[in-house]
Amino acid sequence: MVYSPELMKDRREAPGVEELEKRVEELEGITDRLGTVPDEDLVETLDRAVALLREINAGIEAGIHQTGEETKELDSLLGGMDFGPFDRALEEFEGRDTGGNTGGIHG
C-alpha cells in the first residue's frame, strides 16, 4: 500500500479528526509490532508507516491551510464593518450616571 496523493491535491479539504485518529492508531499498531515483523515483511511494513506519516502530515497541513483561509475570510469580513456607532453607544452607556447604584443588594 502507498499513500494517497489525493490529500495533497486539494489542500482546502482537511480530513476529519476521526480520519487522522484512524491513521495514528494504525501507525501505533505498526510501531507496537515492528520488532516482531519478519525480515521479508519489514520493508513493506516500513513503507506503510511512512505512507501513514505522509497522510497524517498532509492532513495536518490541510487543516492549517483551511484555518488560514477561514482567518483571511473573517479578517476581510470584519475589516469591512464599521464599529463606530457601537463604540459610541458603548461609551455613552458606560458614561451614564446610574444614581450611585453599585450593583449591591439593598435591603
Q: What is the pLDDT of residue 3?
A: 41
pLDDT in tens, 43-82: 999 999 999 999 999 999 998 999 999 999 998 888 888 8
Residue 1's alpha-carbon distances to 68, 82, 100, 107, in angstroms, are 32, 54, 74, 76
Q: What is the pLDDT of residue 12?
A: 52
Which residues of the chain form beta strands (DSSP E)? none
Q: Which has more confidence, 4 or 52?
A: 52
Query: Cβ(39)–Cβ(87) under 8 Å?
Result: no
The domain locations on the chain are 6-94
Mean pLDDT of 83-106: 76
Exposed/middle/buried for residue 56 (C-beta within 10 Å: 0-12, 13-18, 19+)? buried
Rounded Cα distance between 29 and 22, Å, is 11
**Percentage of residues in the chain with pLDDT exceeding 90?**
50
Q: What is the pLDDT of residue 7?
A: 46
pLDDT in tens, 6-28: 544 544 567 788 999 999 999 99
- Which cell numbers in the block locate residue 13? 479539504
